[in-house]
């Protein structure tokens, strides 16, 4: 039993892009959508990105 590779990669990408977004002040959602789409597919990526961008 373990964490699926896609979930691990998505978590690492989300953390890295959150750091980049904190430094730059914008751009996290713009860069995270292609990563989530490549890893999880468009049907999962759009709702997941919506949830991650809520304040």
Q: Write the pLDDT tens digit of every residue in 35-47.
A: 999 998 999 999 9
Task: Please tell me the total number of residues recorded for the chain in this structure.
Answer: 55
Q: What is the reported pLDDT for 25?
A: 82
Whether 14 contacts 52, CB under 8 Å: yes
**For the chain, what is the domain count?**
1
Could you give the count of Cα atoms lying within 13 Å of 14 in the half-sphere of its Cβ? 16
Structural domain containing residue 33: 5-52
Low-confidence ranges of the chain (pLDDT < 50): none
Report which of 29, 21, 22, 26 is spatially closest to residue 49, judged by C-alpha positions: 29
Against a cut of 0.95, is the pTM above it? no
């Amino acid at each position: 039993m373990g964490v699926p590779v896609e979930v691990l990669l998505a978590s690492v990408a989300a953390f890295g892009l959150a750091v980049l977004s904190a430094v730059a002040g914008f751009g996290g959602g713009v860069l995270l959508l292609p990563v989530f789409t490549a890893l999880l597919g468009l049907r999962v990526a759009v709702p997941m990105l919506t949830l991650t961008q809520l304040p």
